[in-house]
Chains A and B, each alone.
Chain A
Amino acid sequence: MNVHDWALIAFTILVQMSIGSLWVLLLAHLFAARKYSVEAADRLSDRALYALIPVIALGFLASLLHLGNPFSAYRAVTNLGTSWLSREILFGVIFAILATVYAFMQWRKIGSVGLRNIIGWLAAIDGLVMVYCMSNVYMLASQPAWNTWATPISFYAATFLLGALAMGAAFVANYTYLQRKEPGCADEQCTLMRETLRWVALAAVILLGVELVVLPIYLVALASGSATGLASVKLMAGSFGWMLALRVLLAFLGAGVFGLFLYQNAMSAGKEKMVGSMAYLAFIVVLAAEVLGRVLFYVSHVRIGI
């Protein structure tokens, strides 16, 4: 592992998490606006939205660290015709700009609610295109461990899993903040937090299921596909076997065990404190699992040839 790999791990995880977060945030906002009011929805999601912008910025800063010549990074969008990397950066930059504009408009309440929502959803949809491009960056003919359908599936799964749990934690933090500022004010917000947490937990459990189904199929297909693929599997199961095991264990604990607990207890009155702690814990544990999974992704690829 060197600094370049860490830069890419940070970049892909942070940006995917931001894209997933924006989706969950917009869905929660939509749900809250329908159920109560746009004001209530803004109170639920605005602070989380402001927190998202530095995360996106950090992700892109990290991406610069893997360049030999970071000051010329702007040139990375000059081969859109054939390079998926160019396309990834283009859609990534558009995502960052739209998300920032959306956050700024929400902050200053510029423009109509409809216009703001359109900007937000455009950012979210652009984000999904970016994850698609990002998957294609790795699907190279000479990289059997990456050149499979498992790459886009696991990227999208990471996007929504991290996004869901990050927003779960953010909504808990937001509610805690609101309560401290004006105790007793937040009945409406309390219900919103509970219901969104329930959905977040359900999404986490389903996405964990996807990851757990994809992983063994991927490993078997890779091992039986080519000698180079087998070499990758031997790395993942051999010298990095502990990492793979820990990654699965943490994902199971965070999204499965804690997720199920959240799903069952989110609505129970009087358990807000415990549910909140569990939401934080689930996010941290799943973030660790996904980072380990991404480390594994970068250390276990074996290129065909010499």
Chain B
Amino acid sequence: MDKQLGFYVDIASCTGCKACQVACKDKNNLPVGIRWRKVFQYEGGEWIRQQDGQMIPSSVYAYSVSSACAHCENPVCAQVCPTAAISKRADGIVLIDAEKCIGCRYCSWACPYGAPQFDEDAGVMTKCNMCYDLVDKGENPACVEACPYRAMDFGPISELRQKYGDFADPAPLPDPSITKPSVIYNPNRVTKSSKQADGHMVNLEEL
């Protein structure tokens, strides 16, 4: 097997501008309602009320997490798919074969990253394909190229881990032990892990 490819996202540099999300939608010509890459805005913490009624922020925090299909080492979507429509390429990219998919949506129950999404018009599931057409030409996926803060990187996940570490579960992402994702993050100073998650997503209506 070739080296498993993966994404790196630097939460410390990310401003939540969603250029990655839009670049993905544009490059892949996604219909309304389907977003292969999503930016989750996560907030938490408390304010302290003083005696004079003034509020002072004490532990308030906010950060953004850009997430798409994690092209997992353990792709539960592919295991549960009844038609074997989801497969993993030699370079680790997880792909849905639209010819085989019957649109039962079972993969969307199994995937904890919300990656497989149903295309109502086509009647099949779709998800991030890591822009494999660009990757095959030696280029980076559209999201990585689009980031104005250069907060994303792409390549063999082993090399990315060597360079950036192996933190994989900023809240609200799930515990990575379920699927072993091929995505790593650089936390900023307030980033919580999935186990410390005590905040909430604030942009639910746009997800």
Contact = CB atoms under 8 A, between A and B. Distances in A.
Majority secondary structure, A binding face: loop
A67 B102 contact: yes
B123 A142 contact: no
A143 B109 CA distance: 8
Interface in A69-104: 69-70, 72-73, 75-79, 82-86, 89
Interface string B53-92: 0000000000000010000000010111111100000000
B41 to A, nearest CB: 12
Contacts of A77: 82
A82 B113 CA distance: 20
A140 B80 contact: yes
A303 interface: yes
Contact of B103 (A69, A85, A86, A142): A69
Interface in A253-306: 301, 303-306
A75 B83 contact: yes
Contacts of B124: 68-69
Contacts of A85: 80-82, 104, 106
B110 A140 contact: yes
Interface in A160-187: none
A214 interface: no
B154 interface: no
A85 B173 CA distance: 26
Instruction: Categorize the interface residue count of chain B.
Output: 35 or more
Given A83-B79, A83-B81, A303-B112, A75 B172 contact: no
Contacts of A78: 82-84, 100
A305 B114 contact: yes
Does more than half of chain B's interface fall in helix, strand or loop, or is it mixed? loop
A68 B82 contact: no
Contacts of B119: 68
Contacts of A83: 79-82, 84
Given A85-B82, A227-B197, A69 B175 contact: no
B111 A142 contact: yes
B112 A68 contact: no
Nearest to A70: B102
Nearest to B84: A79
B118 interface: yes
Contacts of A68: 101-105, 118-120, 122-125
Interface string B156-179: 000000000000000011110010
B82 A76 contact: yes
Which 6 pairs show the lowest CB-CB distances between chains A and B? A68-B103, A305-B112, A68-B123, A305-B174, A79-B84, A85-B82
Interface of B: 38, 40, 67, 76, 78-84, 100-106, 109-114, 118-120, 122-125, 172-175, 178, 197, 201, 207
17 contacts: A67-B103, A67-B104, A68-B102, A68-B103, A68-B119, A78-B83, A82-B79, A83-B81, A85-B104, A140-B76, A140-B80, A140-B109, A141-B112, A142-B111, A142-B174, A305-B113, A306-B112
Given A72-B83, A142-B109, 8 more contacts: A68-B122, A69-B102, A75-B102, A77-B82, A84-B80, A305-B111, A305-B112, A306-B112
